[in-house]
Amino acid sequence: MRATPSNKLPSSRHDWKTIRSLLPYLWEFKGRVIAALMLLLLAKLANVSVPLVLKEIIDTLNQPLVTLPLFLLITYGVLRFCSTLFGELRDAVFAKVTQRVIRRVAIKTFSHLHALSLRFHLARQTGGVSRDIERGSRGISFLLNFMLFNILPTLLEIGLVMLILISRYDIWFFIITLLTLLAYIALTLFVTEWRMIFRRTMNDMDSKANTRAIDSLLNYETVKYFGNETLETQRYDEHLQQWEKAAVRNQTSLAALNSGQSAIIAIGMTFLMLLAADKAITGEMSLGDVVLVNAFLLQLYMPLHFLGFVYREIKHSLADMEKMFSLLDERQEITDRPNAIELPANSATVTFEHVGFSYEINRQILFDVNFSIPAGHTIAVVGPSGSGKSTLARLLFRFYDVTNGRILINDHDIRNVTQESLRAMIGIVPQDTVLFNESIFYNIAYGRSDATHEEILAAAKSAHIHDFIESLPDQYETQVGERGLKLSGGEKQRIAIARAILKKPTILIFDEATSALDSKTEKKIQRELKQLAKNRTTLVIAHRLSTIIDADQILVMDNGYIAERGTHQQLLTINGIYAHMWELQQQEELILPHEHRMIN
């Protein structure tokens, strides 16, 4: 069960493609971006001017003076202040751009995830996806701030300093500085690219470890049932071990890179100071010139050293952003057609015409399914597990598109209508009710967000859960816990029923809606469900046959086919699959009460 270590580099987007993905978001604030760049330019001009003024001050003080060079000293102070002031103003102007871009990309990713098909979400790893989005958002912030305000200004400063050196001093100052820069950049680029495999491996292992942690915690009770706490810890550690190895190699290679960068800068500065000192001794340069060259070198190499860090972090940020932008590259399997129409929210006739469906090419689920539910009628679907019953509901909601045939609502192919109008017409009470980690009130109100307080209470009463809620200390504000785990299965199902009642849909789907209820409560709920289904087009997916004997028609599914169809009495007369299922369930109902009496 151990993970197999892999040195394979995770697939990555091209860095420039990732950067280009951000440009449309920046363009929205082009005024602020231009203003920030102008402030950046002013800050760097002030910064480069400081050593020039310092040179004049030193040369002036090196001569016999009657008065202090007051103007030069004040200018020096003003330039020092301006270099900082313009930088802070730049950050203030650009702050809204950075935060808005992060917000827009996060919203777009979140919205895109909801637009992806059920096929994607059944295969996704929730913990890994959430960690990818979290890292990607941080990466955007770092990329925007440091690429625009560290790499660009440092390159600008390097250019200005090189221009001053070549125009005022010996060509060797320029040559030595240029060679040092080239060596530094070459080392940084080469080693950083090599190190990226460790960062991407760290990201990959971090996402996988987080996925396992969340999956294990969500299934806390199952872990406890089987006493597998140690196994879960080992499974979690499998990816952490790989993360640790990559993290150690990442850190040791960083130390080697920093050492190499420092050596190059030290050698370059030594040669330049030797050259400057020699020029000063021969009288070709003044003391102010030596101070100027030294100040420029310090001013140049300190940000250059920081530039190495920034470049590494930008590469890391791009790696962090890769998976988040890859999510945006996921193709939407189910989309509205350009000419999709709004489905009228009136009475609905549902028709399945020669519907075939496959989740995968070699796994067909439905074969030539034909049936119609006239407006206001109820059709029930029964059959063994895996016969394709629940798939009918998923197809009607258009979580998937049919492989063959078509599904019609009032003679409209559901592929030709908007998904929003289609799903607004349909209400469902699913077999497995999963609730939000919010209050009971919120979970019922989720059925229709604009419902009034009175309508929500009425829906709860219809679902026979109002009295239970009122008996709780916090009543409707009671928190249900992660996935509703603080409630029993029956309580969750009654909330789902209340939610469906509140939606007031035209089409109703009951997917084994009373499977988690006791017999007494089931009979009460069945009466309410019948009342709810009155004058509505209803599809009932059932296991307990006693709950669907009043259906207008019953379909018996077997291995993806409709094996039998008819009313309850007609199907019993046929004496086929349905009659056999009915006989077995009747025997179970006779046996269970007898066993219950013996146990008591």
Q: How many CB atoms lie within 10 A of CB 327?
A: 19
- What average pLDDT does the structure give for the chain? 77
Residue 446 phi/psi, 5-degree rounding, is: -60, -20
CB of 565 closer than 8 Å to CB of 572: no
Instruction: State residue 546's pLDDT score.
Output: 78
**What proportions of the chain, in percent to the nearest 5, are helix, strand and coil?**
65, 10, 25
CA distance linking residue 147 with residue 312, whole number of Å: 11
Question: pTM for the whole thing?
Answer: 0.63
88: its two tokens: 């802070």
Q: Report the sign of the C-alpha dihedral through residues 366, 371, 374, 380, in that order.
A: negative
Sorted by where each begins, the domain ranges of the chain are 15-329, 337-425+506-600, 433-504
Under the banding of pLDDT at 50, 70 and 90, the label for residue 17 is low
Least confident among 101-110, 563-572, 576-585: 101-110
**Average pLDDT score over residue span 28-53:** 79
DSSP state at residue 65: -
Residue 437 has pLDDT above 50, yes or no: yes
In the chain, the amino acid numbered 461 is K
Q: Which of 11, 9, 6, 7 has its CA nearest to residue 329?
A: 11
Under the banding of pLDDT at 50, 70 and 90, the label for residue 472 is confident
**Average pLDDT score over residue span 120-132:** 63
Residue 119 has pLDDT above 80, yes or no: no
Third-level CATH fold of 337-425+506-600:
Rossmann fold (3.40.50)
Alpha carbon 68 to chain centroid, angstroms: 63
Query: CA 341 → CA 184, 272, 336, 403, 415, distances in Å?
Result: 61, 74, 9, 22, 10
163: its two tokens: 């221009």
Instruction: State residue 318's pLDDT score.
Output: 75
Instruction: State residue 5's pLDDT score.
Output: 38
Residues 244-302 pLDDT 10s: 888 888 788 778 888 888 888 888 878 887 887 888 788 777 777 777 777 777 766 66
Residue 1 has pLDDT above 80, yes or no: no
Q: Which of 480, 154, 195, 526 has its CA nearest to residue 305?
A: 154
Least confident among 63-72, 98-107, 374-383: 63-72
Under the banding of pLDDT at 50, 70 and 90, the label for residue 6 is very low
CA distance linking residue 79 with residue 76, whole number of Å: 5
Question: Which helix H or strand E contains 188, and what residues bound it?
Answer: helix 171-218
Residue 488 has pLDDT above 60, yes or no: yes
Residues 314-373 pLDDT 10s: 776 777 677 677 777 667 777 788 888 888 877 788 889 998 888 877 778 888 889 899
Instruction: State residue 34's pLDDT score.
Output: 81
In CATH, the number for domain 433-504 is 3.40.50.300
DSSP state at residue 301: H
Residues 582-593 pLDDT 10s: 888 788 666 555
Residue 127 has pLDDT above 60, yes or no: no
CA distance linking residue 323 with residue 133, whole number of Å: 8
Instruction: State residue 97's pLDDT score.
Output: 79
CA distance linking residue 157 with residue 44, whole number of Å: 6
DSSP string, 430-466: -SS----SSBHHHHHHTT-TT--HHHHHHHHHHTT-H
Instruction: State residue 8's pLDDT score.
Output: 40
381 vs 25 pLDDT, higher one: 381
Q: Domain 15-329, CATH 1.20.1560.10 — does that match?
A: yes
In the chain, the amino acid numbered 270 is T
Instruction: State residue 361's pLDDT score.
Output: 75
The reply to whether domains 15-329 and 337-425+506-600 share a CATH topology is no
DSSP string, 282-317: TTSS-HHHHHHHHHHHHHHHHHHHHHHHHHHHHHHH
Q: Which of 398, 401, 402 has its CA nearest to residue 422?
A: 398
**Average pLDDT score over residue span 449-460:** 87
Q: Which of 16, 97, 576 has its CA nearest to residue 321?
A: 16
CA distance linking residue 293 with residue 296, whole number of Å: 5
570: its two tokens: 């007609």
**Average pLDDT score over residue span 80-107:** 79
**Average pLDDT score over residue span 229-244:** 80
Instruction: State residue 594's pLDDT score.
Output: 44
In this prediction, what percent of the chain has a pLDDT beyond 70?
Answer: 82
Alpha helices in 219-228 (DSSP H): 220-225
Under the banding of pLDDT at 50, 70 and 90, the label for residue 564 is confident
503: its two tokens: 């939606």
Instruction: State residue 86's pLDDT score.
Output: 81
